Structure 1
Amino acid sequence: MKKLYIILFTLFSLYSYCQNKNFAVENNLIIWKLVYQDSTNISELKKNPRLEFNSDSTGYIKKTNFNDDNLREMVGEFLIESKKGKYRVSVFNIKFFVEPIGLSSGGLSMQSISEYTIEKSLLKKNGAIRETSLGYNLTETLNPHLTVHYK
């Protein structure tokens, strides 16, 4: 019975501490990268209403939570690099927004919208991505949305 508990604990630990392979740390920035093996023209991606292009290959993600209640609203920058028959998308400078907080002092009411970077949430002091707990993994939650977003 003791061995069964050890095996179950190990399996649970492995499941809850995995990060998505598309997220990596470069120069203390958490970057999401994915290579798409098709020849979708970047002009097709410009039709996506959630993307705002600054040039032919760079831009930012407009404020969204991808209609997912498990995610806070976020923005981010992207870079698209294309080669014959494939293209690579990199998303970086990801920022999440916290609901406005009402502050009241002496009849004066202020609302503050707070934002935080993905690095503040997930980056350890040693530069590695923080392990998650209790089965919630932000990289696994965010990955499918980003994957579909650029296809």
Structure 2
Amino acid sequence: MKKLISITFLLITTISFAQNKNFIVEDELIMWRYIYEDSTSISKLKSNPRLEFKTDSTGIIKKTNFSDKMLHPIVAEFKIEVKKNKYRVSVFNTRFIEEPRIINKDGLLIQATNEYTIEQALLKRNKTIKKPSLFNNSTETLNPHLIQLFTIKKPAKSDW
């Protein structure tokens, strides 16, 4: 019984401290990359209200927190590369935006907004991604939202 508890504890701690493999460090920037196996045209992503396309394959993710209370709202840039029957999304220049705070300074009320990059939050001095804390793994929290964001959805048939 003690052996089973020890093995279970070891597995839980190993899993909870793992970084998501879709986040990589490249040229001192943390990037998220994911390859989708889908032959649908990426132009269908243009109808996603959270994405703003600048060109046919680049753009920005508009301010969103994906309705996840574990995340501050983010803004980021993206690039989509297409090959036969698949496409690769790269997300970079990710910035977290904390909710505005009211600061009283010498009788003046100032609204302060704090914005910080994903590199400031997760990059160590040796240019590797920090290990997550026990209850907050930002890469694991953010990953499923980004996968969902760039998944091409089949439009629902509506007869309005």
Cα distance in 2 between the residues matched to 1:149 and 1:7: 36
State whether structure 2 residue 110 is matched by structure 1 residue 76. no
Q: 1:61, 1:77 within 8 Å by CA — same for their partners in 2?
A: yes
The one-letter amino acid of 1:21's match is: K
State whether structure 2 residue 52 is matched by structure 1 residue 52. yes
2:87 match: 87
Deviation digits for residues 116-145 of structure 1 (CA, Å, limit 9, x no counterpart): 111111111111110012142111110000
Cα distance in 2 between the residues matched to 1:86 and 1:134: 35
Q: 1:19, 1:137 within 8 Å by CA — same for their partners in 2?
A: yes
TM-score normalised by length of structure 1:
0.92
1:109 match: 109
Q: CA deviation at 1:43?
A: 1.2
Gaps of 5+ in 2: 152-160
Cα distance in 2 between the residues matched to 1:2 and 1:57: 54
Q: CA RMSD in A?
A: 1.6
Q: 1:100, 1:111 within 8 Å by CA — same for their partners in 2?
A: yes
Q: Aligned with 1:142: secondary structure?
A: helix
1:66 match: 66
Cα distance in 2 between the residues matched to 1:114 and 1:74: 12
Shift in alpha-carbon separation, 1:5–1:84, aligned structure 2, 3 A:
closer
Q: Aligned with 2:43: secondary structure?
A: helix
Q: As a proportion of its length, which structure holds more strand?
A: 1
2:96 match: 96
Deviation digits for residues 91-116 of structure 1 (CA, Å, limit 9, x no counterpart): 00110011212121232111111101
TM-score normalised by length of structure 2:
0.87
Cα distance in 2 between the residues matched to 1:57 and 1:8: 44
Gaps of 5+ in 1: none
Q: 1:76, 1:94 within 8 Å by CA — same for their partners in 2?
A: yes
Percent sequence identity is: 57
Cα distance in 2 between the residues matched to 1:106 and 1:32: 43
Cα distance in 2 between the residues matched to 1:8 and 1:135: 17
Q: CA deviation at 1:4?
A: 6.2
Q: CA deviation at 1:3?
A: 5.8
Q: Aligned with 2:100: secondary structure?
A: strand
Alignment of 1:2-151 (within 5 A): 7-151=7-151
Q: CA deviation at 1:13?
A: 2.7
Q: 1:15, 1:135 within 8 Å by CA — same for their partners in 2?
A: no
Q: 1:78, 1:89 within 8 Å by CA — same for their partners in 2?
A: yes
* Divergent runs of 4+, >2 A: 1-13
